[in-house]
Structure 1
Amino acid sequence: MENSKEHPSLFDRLGNSDGLQVAVIGCGAWGKNLVRCFAELNCLGAVADHHSATVAEILALHGGQALTFEQILVEPSIQAVAIATQPSRHFDLAKRALLSGKHVFVEKPLALEFRQAKELAALARRSGLRLMIGHILRFHPAFARLQTLIASGGIGRLLRLEANRKNLGAIRSEEDVLWCLGPHDVSIILALVGSQPTELHVVGGYHLRQGRADTVTLHLAFPAGERAQVNLSWLHPVKEHRLTVIGSEAMVVFDDGAQWDRKLLLYPHIVKVAENATATIRAEPVPLTIEQHEPLKLECQHFINCIVQGSEPITNGEEGLRVTQVLAEASAMMKRGHGLRTTPGRVNARHHHLDV
C-alpha cells in the first residue's frame, strides 16, 4: 500500500532543513496549530489569512511575514505551503501551489471529489514535488505501535476493526460528517488492513438538514476477509474517538481520549470454537507502552524531512487518493439513495438512506 521509497522515521529529530520555509494558508483554529508546529521546527516563513487581526496575533507570537496567497506563490524564499482552509478550497489552492513549484501539505480531505484528488496526485507525481495529506492519526505514536503489533502477528490474524468518532457539534456548512470525520478512520483502517475494500455498505442519517448527513455508519469488507465498521456522528452527547481491533488471538483498543498510559490496551482474550460448543477466556487488559510525542508535531516534522530527504510522505497523494476513493464511493451511494451498485474492479456498495 505504501510507496516503495523508505519513509523517514516518525521519531527521528528534524535534520538540517537547509533554510526551508513553509507558508501556512488559513489560520483558523487548526491552522494556528500548524503555525505553532512549523514555528517550533524553525520552518515558518509566512502566513496568509483573510482576518488581519488573526495574522497580527500570529506574527506577534511566532514571527514570519504576512503575505497573500498570490504573493506566496511567487516568493522564492517559500518552498512549501500548508493548506488549512475550508475543504472546498483544497483542490484549487493545492493545484496552484504545485503548479508554482511548491511542496504541498493539505489538511484532510485532500479534495471533495475523486477526480480532483486523482489530478492532484498525478500532478505531484509528474512534478517530483511532495504532496502530503493531514491524516494526523497516521502519526500518532499509539497508531505506530498498533501497526507494528499487527504486522508482527501480535494479535494473530486480523479479523475486524471498529472505529467510533463521535461528538456533539462542530457541524460544518459545506461538507457532511463523512467528509469531515471519515478521513481519519478510513486512512488508518486502510493502512492496518493493507488493501482497498471490495465491498462497501453505508447508512446516512439526516436529522438536522436534508441532503447533509450528520450521522454515518460505514461497513467495509476486504479481500482477505477482514471487516471494518466506522461510526461517525455530530449528534452524540460525549466525545468518543476509539478504534477497536479484533484479532484471532487478542484484541486491542486505541482510545485517543484516554490518558497517555491507557491509550493503547491489549486484551489477550481467547475465544475457542469447537464443533458443539464455544468457550471464552477473558484476561485483564495490558497497557502498551508508547512514546509520548505530539502527533501534529510529528506530522509537520515528517513533511519537512520528506522534502529535505526527497522521500515520499506516508500520507502522500496516492494514499490520499485511496482514502478519497472510499469516501467518494460512499458519498455517491448516499446521494443516489438506492440499491446495490457494482463497480468492476473497485467497490461493491450498498446504501440505505434514512431521512429522519
Structure 2
Amino acid sequence: MTLRQKSEERVVNDNYANVAAIGCGYWGKNLVRNFANLGKLRWICDKNETALNNQAQLYPEVHKTGDFEAVLADEQTRAVAIATPAALHYTQVKQALLQGKDVFVEKPLALHYREGRELVGLAREKKAILMVGHILEYHPAVTLLKEIIQRGELGKVLYMYSNRLNLGKVRAEENILWSFAPHDIAVISSLIGQEPSVVSASGGTYLQSGIVDVTTTNLQYNDGTKAHIFVSWLHPFKEQKLVVVGDQKMAVFDDTIREGKLKIYDKGIEWQGGLPVARQTSETTLFIPEAEPLRLECQHFLDCIQERKQPLTDGISALKVLKVLEASQISLERGGIPVNLTEMEQGVLV
C-alpha cells in the first residue's frame, strides 16, 4: 500500500466513526463530552433548546439541531449515541438502524422484550453495530473481578447481592427497577456466566402513583447460584455495592469510594466436628488504575465501528437483561410470584 493509499484509508476511517449524540441532558451530556474528547463527535441533537445550547456553547465546532431526522439524513454521520428517555429508545434505535447507522443506546434497549428482539434482528439484517450502555461491564474493577472469578480464586460462587441506593433522581417516565437495576442485572449475569432461570420481585410505591420507588429482585440460576438486587431512590445515603460469596473467598466491589474499590476477603465457613465455623484470615485491597468507565465504553464503541466487531454489551446481551427486567416487572405486578424466563420468552405468561 502506498503512502497516498494509507493516507486516504486513514481519512475514510476517521470519517467512518463520526458520531451524533442524541439527547444531551442529565446523562447524555457525558456522552457528548466523551465523544468530543475522542475527536468523533459530529452532531449534538436535543429537542430541549436549553440543554442543546448549553452543550453547543462548550463544543462550538460541532453541528447542533433539534431534528433527529436531519441527523439520520447526514451521510457523513456513521453512528448515533442515544441517551433519550427509555420510552423513546425502541423507535429511535429502529429509525437509526433503518437508515444504516451503527447505534449505541443507553439502557434499557427497549421497554418490551419483543421490541428488543426486533431491534436485534434488524441490526443483524442491516449488518450494523448495536451496542447498549451497560457501563459497569467496562469498569476496570468489574473486569478484574470477572477474571478473579474465572480463575477460581473465590472457589465456587454461591451467592451474589448488590445494593444500588440513593436519594433521587426520581423519574416520572420509569420506575426504580427499570432505572437502576439494569446495571446490576447485567453485571451479575456476566460474572456468573449464564442467564437466570427464575426471577421474582417485590417493591413499594410511595411518591407517585404507579411508579415503584423501591424493589428487591431475586435471581435463581440453573447451577444453584442465587442473587438479589436491592434498588431504591428513597435512601438516606448513596450506596453502590456488589458482594460475591464463594465457598473459599469473598469479594466486595464498592463503587462509591475513590480508592480500593475492590477487596478480596479470605473468609468462609469450615466444618469442624460437624459444625460450621467461620474462618477469617486476611483482607486484600486491590488498587486499580484510574480510568473513566464511560470513556472506555465510548472508545469500545468506536473500535467496534472501525473493526466491525461484536461489542461486549451487544444487542444480544442487552436482550438478556431486558428479559430479566420484563420478568421482574411481571412478578412485581403479580405480588412477587416467581416467573420462569423460558415460559415468558415462549409467551406462556400473558
Q: Report the TM-score, using the length of structure 2 for normalisation.
A: 0.91
Say if 1:199 and 1:220, in contact at 8 Å, map to a contact too.
Answer: yes
Q: Which residue pairs with 1:43 in the alignment?
A: 40
Structure 1 position 294, deviation (Å): 0.3
- Distance in structure 1 (CA, Å) of the matches to 2:31 and 2:336: 41
Say if 2:327 and 2:344, in contact at 8 Å, map to a contact too.
Answer: no
- 1:145 is the counterpart of 2:144: yes
Residue correspondences, number: 331
Q: Equivalences for 1:243-282 in 2 at 5 Å?
A: 243-260=242-259, 262-274=260-272, 276-282=274-280
- 1:342–1:250 distance in 2 versus 1, CA, 3 Å: closer
- Distance in structure 1 (CA, Å) of the matches to 2:140 and 2:202: 31
Structure 1 position 88, deviation (Å): 0.4
- 1:286 is the counterpart of 2:303: no
Gaps of 5+ in 2: 1-11, 346-350
Q: Which has the higher contact order (CA 8 A, sep 6+)?
A: 1
- Distance in structure 2 (CA, Å) of the matches to 1:270 and 1:141: 26
Q: Which deviates the most, 335-344 or 161-170?
A: 335-344
Structure 1 position 17, deviation (Å): 4.8
- Distance in structure 2 (CA, Å) of the matches to 1:295 and 1:346: 33
2:302 counterpart SS class: helix
Structure 1 position 139, deviation (Å): 0.5
Instruction: Identify the match of residue 336 of structure 1 among 317, 334, 341.
Output: 334
Say if 1:17 and 1:305, in contact at 8 Å, map to a contact too.
Answer: no
- Distance in structure 2 (CA, Å) of the matches to 1:150 and 1:163: 16
Structure 1 position 213, deviation (Å): 1.0
Structure 1 position 343, deviation (Å): 5.7
Say if 2:202 and 2:335, in contact at 8 Å, map to a contact too.
Answer: no
Structure 1 position 74, deviation (Å): 0.9
2:281 counterpart SS class: coil
Q: Which residue pairs with 1:58 in the alignment?
A: 55
- 1:31 is the counterpart of 2:31: no
- 1:296 is the counterpart of 2:294: yes
Residue identity over aligned pairs, in percent, reads 40
Q: Which residue pairs with 1:130 in the alignment?
A: 129
Structure 1 position 199, deviation (Å): 1.6
Q: Which deviates the most, 93-102 or 45-54?
A: 45-54
Structure 2: which amino acid aligns with 1:18? Answer: D
Q: Which deviates the most, 67-76 or 281-290?
A: 281-290
Q: Which residue pairs with 1:351 in the alignment?
A: none
- Distance in structure 2 (CA, Å) of the matches to 1:307 and 1:28: 25
Structure 1 position 277, deviation (Å): 1.2
Structure 1 position 270, deviation (Å): 2.9
Say if 1:266 and 1:285, in contact at 8 Å, map to a contact too.
Answer: yes
Structure 1: which amino acid aligns with 2:94? Answer: K
2:171 counterpart SS class: coil
Say if 2:83 and 2:105, in contact at 8 Å, map to a contact too.
Answer: yes
- Distance in structure 2 (CA, Å) of the matches to 1:53 and 1:148: 44
- 1:311 is the counterpart of 2:278: no
Q: Report the TM-score, using the length of structure 1 for normalisation.
A: 0.89
- Distance in structure 1 (CA, Å) of the matches to 2:336 and 2:297: 39
1:203 counterpart SS class: strand
Structure 2: which amino acid aligns with 1:251? Answer: M
Gaps of 5+ in 1: 1-15, 348-356
- Per-residue Cα deviation, 1:82-121 (whole angstroms, up to 9, x for no partner): 0001100011000000000000000011111111111111
Could you say what the CA RMSD is over the residues aligned between the two structures, in angstroms? 1.6
Structure 2: which amino acid aligns with 1:269? Answer: K
Say if 2:120 and 2:315, in contact at 8 Å, map to a contact too.
Answer: yes
- Distance in structure 2 (CA, Å) of the matches to 1:105 and 1:306: 11
